[in-house]
Amino acid sequence: MTPEQQSRKTRVLCELAPVIPVLVVGDAARAEGLATALVAGGLPVLEVTLRTPAALQVITEMAKVTGGHVGAGTVLTPDDAKRAQDAGASFAVAPGATERLVRACEEIGLPLLPGAVTASEVMRAMEMGFSMLKFFPAEAAGGAKSLKSLAGPLPQVSFCPTGGVSIQNAPDYLALPNVTCVGGSWIAPDAEVAAGDWAAIEARARNAYALR
Protein backbone atom coordinates (compact mmCIF):
# COMPACT_ATOMS: atom_id res chain seq x y z
CA MET A 1 0.00 0.00 0.00
CA THR A 2 1.66 3.21 -1.18
CA PRO A 3 1.72 6.39 0.95
CA GLU A 4 -0.79 7.90 -1.48
CA GLN A 5 -3.17 5.01 -0.85
CA GLN A 6 -2.53 5.22 2.88
CA SER A 7 -3.41 8.91 2.94
CA ARG A 8 -6.63 8.25 1.06
CA LYS A 9 -7.63 5.73 3.72
CA THR A 10 -6.63 7.86 6.70
CA ARG A 11 -8.40 10.87 5.18
CA VAL A 12 -11.65 8.87 4.97
CA LEU A 13 -11.26 7.96 8.65
CA CYS A 14 -10.48 11.54 9.64
CA GLU A 15 -13.62 12.73 7.87
CA LEU A 16 -15.91 10.46 9.91
CA ALA A 17 -15.99 12.75 12.98
CA PRO A 18 -14.48 16.06 14.08
CA VAL A 19 -12.52 14.44 16.92
CA ILE A 20 -10.40 11.31 17.22
CA PRO A 21 -10.11 10.34 20.89
CA VAL A 22 -6.48 9.75 21.87
CA LEU A 23 -6.57 7.02 24.48
CA VAL A 24 -4.01 5.83 27.02
CA VAL A 25 -5.61 2.74 28.58
CA GLY A 26 -3.88 0.61 31.17
CA ASP A 27 -6.60 -1.98 31.76
CA ALA A 28 -7.89 -4.08 28.87
CA ALA A 29 -11.00 -4.91 30.90
CA ARG A 30 -12.13 -1.32 30.30
CA ALA A 31 -11.56 -1.42 26.55
CA GLU A 32 -14.90 -2.68 25.27
CA GLY A 33 -17.00 -0.40 27.47
CA LEU A 34 -14.90 2.62 26.59
CA ALA A 35 -15.01 1.97 22.86
CA THR A 36 -18.76 1.31 22.95
CA ALA A 37 -19.38 4.63 24.72
CA LEU A 38 -17.24 6.60 22.30
CA VAL A 39 -18.79 5.03 19.20
CA ALA A 40 -22.29 5.56 20.62
CA GLY A 41 -21.38 9.21 21.19
CA GLY A 42 -20.54 9.66 17.52
CA LEU A 43 -16.76 9.19 17.57
CA PRO A 44 -16.06 5.94 15.72
CA VAL A 45 -12.33 6.44 15.06
CA LEU A 46 -10.18 5.66 18.11
CA GLU A 47 -6.44 6.00 18.64
CA VAL A 48 -4.97 3.76 21.34
CA THR A 49 -1.45 4.90 22.15
CA LEU A 50 1.21 2.23 22.62
CA ARG A 51 2.20 3.66 25.98
CA THR A 52 0.98 0.96 28.33
CA PRO A 53 1.70 -2.77 28.59
CA ALA A 54 -2.00 -3.43 27.95
CA ALA A 55 -2.24 -1.31 24.79
CA LEU A 56 -2.18 -4.15 22.27
CA GLN A 57 -4.82 -6.12 24.18
CA VAL A 58 -6.89 -2.94 24.42
CA ILE A 59 -6.73 -2.62 20.64
CA THR A 60 -7.84 -6.23 20.24
CA GLU A 61 -10.84 -5.73 22.52
CA MET A 62 -11.85 -2.40 21.00
CA ALA A 63 -11.63 -3.83 17.49
CA LYS A 64 -14.55 -6.12 18.39
CA VAL A 65 -16.92 -3.17 18.89
CA THR A 66 -19.31 -2.75 15.97
CA GLY A 67 -18.95 0.53 14.13
CA GLY A 68 -15.52 1.35 15.50
CA HIS A 69 -12.22 1.90 13.69
CA VAL A 70 -9.32 1.33 16.06
CA GLY A 71 -5.80 2.45 15.36
CA ALA A 72 -2.52 2.44 17.24
CA GLY A 73 -0.84 5.67 18.28
CA THR A 74 2.78 6.39 19.19
CA VAL A 75 3.91 3.93 16.53
CA LEU A 76 7.67 4.47 16.30
CA THR A 77 9.17 1.36 14.70
CA PRO A 78 8.34 -1.33 12.14
CA ASP A 79 7.88 -3.75 15.03
CA ASP A 80 5.32 -1.41 16.62
CA ALA A 81 3.42 -1.30 13.33
CA LYS A 82 3.41 -5.08 12.88
CA ARG A 83 2.36 -5.80 16.46
CA ALA A 84 -0.40 -3.21 16.25
CA GLN A 85 -1.73 -4.67 13.01
CA ASP A 86 -1.61 -8.20 14.45
CA ALA A 87 -3.59 -6.94 17.45
CA GLY A 88 -6.34 -5.63 15.19
CA ALA A 89 -5.36 -2.03 14.48
CA SER A 90 -6.72 -0.77 11.15
CA PHE A 91 -4.36 2.21 11.00
CA ALA A 92 -1.28 3.64 12.71
CA VAL A 93 -0.42 7.10 13.96
CA ALA A 94 3.14 8.32 14.45
CA PRO A 95 4.49 11.55 15.99
CA GLY A 96 6.84 11.92 13.02
CA ALA A 97 7.90 10.10 9.87
CA THR A 98 10.96 8.01 9.13
CA GLU A 99 11.73 6.18 5.91
CA ARG A 100 12.04 2.92 7.85
CA LEU A 101 8.59 3.23 9.39
CA VAL A 102 6.98 4.41 6.17
CA ARG A 103 8.51 1.51 4.25
CA ALA A 104 7.34 -1.00 6.88
CA CYS A 105 3.74 0.25 6.78
CA GLU A 106 3.83 0.14 3.00
CA GLU A 107 5.01 -3.48 3.08
CA ILE A 108 2.37 -4.72 5.54
CA GLY A 109 -0.47 -2.61 4.11
CA LEU A 110 -1.14 -0.60 7.27
CA PRO A 111 -2.38 2.97 6.65
CA LEU A 112 -0.12 5.45 8.43
CA LEU A 113 -0.95 8.94 9.65
CA PRO A 114 2.54 10.38 10.13
CA GLY A 115 3.33 13.52 12.08
CA ALA A 116 4.86 16.75 10.82
CA VAL A 117 5.05 20.25 12.24
CA THR A 118 7.47 22.37 10.21
CA ALA A 119 7.20 23.27 6.54
CA SER A 120 10.27 21.15 5.80
CA GLU A 121 8.77 18.13 7.57
CA VAL A 122 5.50 18.57 5.69
CA MET A 123 7.33 18.87 2.38
CA ARG A 124 9.34 15.74 3.11
CA ALA A 125 6.13 13.84 3.89
CA MET A 126 4.67 15.14 0.64
CA GLU A 127 7.70 13.85 -1.26
CA MET A 128 7.04 10.43 0.28
CA GLY A 129 3.47 10.62 -1.04
CA PHE A 130 1.48 11.66 2.04
CA SER A 131 -1.25 14.30 1.89
CA MET A 132 -2.97 13.60 5.24
CA LEU A 133 -0.77 14.29 8.26
CA LYS A 134 -0.82 14.61 12.01
CA PHE A 135 0.23 18.06 13.28
CA PHE A 136 2.07 17.36 16.52
CA PRO A 137 2.63 18.77 19.08
CA ALA A 138 -0.04 21.24 18.05
CA GLU A 139 -0.20 23.74 20.89
CA ALA A 140 3.52 23.63 21.66
CA ALA A 141 4.25 24.26 17.97
CA GLY A 142 2.23 27.45 17.78
CA GLY A 143 -1.32 26.17 17.75
CA ALA A 144 -3.96 27.12 15.22
CA LYS A 145 -2.05 30.23 14.10
CA SER A 146 0.97 28.15 13.13
CA LEU A 147 -1.14 25.58 11.33
CA LYS A 148 -3.06 28.30 9.49
CA SER A 149 0.22 29.67 8.16
CA LEU A 150 0.92 26.34 6.43
CA ALA A 151 -2.35 26.46 4.48
CA GLY A 152 -1.14 29.17 2.10
CA PRO A 153 2.03 27.58 0.70
CA LEU A 154 0.93 23.97 1.25
CA PRO A 155 -2.82 23.86 0.53
CA GLN A 156 -2.72 20.29 -0.78
CA VAL A 157 -2.04 18.85 2.68
CA SER A 158 -4.65 18.26 5.38
CA PHE A 159 -4.00 17.80 9.09
CA CYS A 160 -5.23 16.23 12.28
CA PRO A 161 -3.71 18.44 15.01
CA THR A 162 -2.98 16.66 18.28
CA GLY A 163 -1.23 17.70 21.45
CA GLY A 164 -2.82 20.21 23.79
CA VAL A 165 -6.09 20.26 21.86
CA SER A 166 -9.10 20.75 24.14
CA ILE A 167 -12.83 21.37 23.94
CA GLN A 168 -12.00 25.08 24.28
CA ASN A 169 -9.52 25.42 21.41
CA ALA A 170 -10.73 22.62 19.11
CA PRO A 171 -13.13 25.00 17.27
CA ASP A 172 -10.16 27.23 16.33
CA TYR A 173 -8.47 24.29 14.64
CA LEU A 174 -11.61 22.91 13.01
CA ALA A 175 -12.31 26.30 11.43
CA LEU A 176 -9.10 26.09 9.40
CA PRO A 177 -9.31 25.01 5.74
CA ASN A 178 -6.44 22.53 6.14
CA VAL A 179 -7.82 20.74 9.23
CA THR A 180 -9.96 17.64 8.73
CA CYS A 181 -10.32 16.69 12.40
CA VAL A 182 -8.49 17.00 15.71
CA GLY A 183 -7.12 14.44 18.14
CA GLY A 184 -7.87 14.88 21.82
CA SER A 185 -7.46 13.09 25.13
CA TRP A 186 -10.00 15.16 27.07
CA ILE A 187 -12.93 12.97 26.02
CA ALA A 188 -11.95 9.99 28.19
CA PRO A 189 -10.43 11.20 31.50
CA ASP A 190 -8.50 8.59 33.44
CA ALA A 191 -10.81 8.81 36.45
CA GLU A 192 -13.94 8.15 34.41
CA VAL A 193 -12.31 5.27 32.53
CA ALA A 194 -11.16 3.71 35.81
CA ALA A 195 -14.65 4.11 37.26
CA GLY A 196 -16.34 2.76 34.15
CA ASP A 197 -18.45 5.90 33.88
CA TRP A 198 -19.42 5.24 30.30
CA ALA A 199 -22.44 7.55 30.40
CA ALA A 200 -20.23 10.55 31.18
CA ILE A 201 -17.78 9.61 28.44
CA GLU A 202 -20.56 9.10 25.90
CA ALA A 203 -21.96 12.53 26.79
CA ARG A 204 -18.53 14.10 26.33
CA ALA A 205 -18.22 12.32 22.98
CA ARG A 206 -21.55 13.74 21.86
CA ASN A 207 -20.37 17.24 22.77
CA ALA A 208 -17.21 16.67 20.74
CA TYR A 209 -19.21 15.38 17.78
CA ALA A 210 -21.28 18.58 17.89
CA LEU A 211 -18.14 20.67 17.28
CA ARG A 212 -18.52 20.13 13.53
Phi, psi of 30 (to 5 degrees): -90, -10
Catalytic residue among 9, 47, 61, 202: 47
For residue 178, give the nearest of 137, 211, 145, 139 by alpha carbon. Answer: 145
DSSP for 118-164 reads SHHHHHHHHHHT--EEEETTTTTTTHHHHHHHHHTT-TT-EEEEBSS
For residue 201, give the nearest of 24, 171, 167, 193 by alpha carbon. Answer: 193
Instruction: Let me know if 47 is a catalytic residue.
Output: yes
H-state helical runs in 24-142: 31-40, 55-62, 78-87, 99-108, 119-128
Bridge partners (DSSP) listed for residue 20: 183
Total residue count of the chain as it appears in this document: 212
Type of residue found at 14: C
Q: CB neighbours (10 Å) of residue 118?
A: 11
Instruction: Let me know if 121 is a catalytic residue.
Output: no
156 Cβ partners below 8 Å, 6+ apart?
A: 126, 131
What whole-number distance in Å separates Cα of residue 173 and Cα of residue 74? 22
Catalytic residue among 9, 61, 134, 202: 134
* Catalytic positions, written as ranges: 47, 134
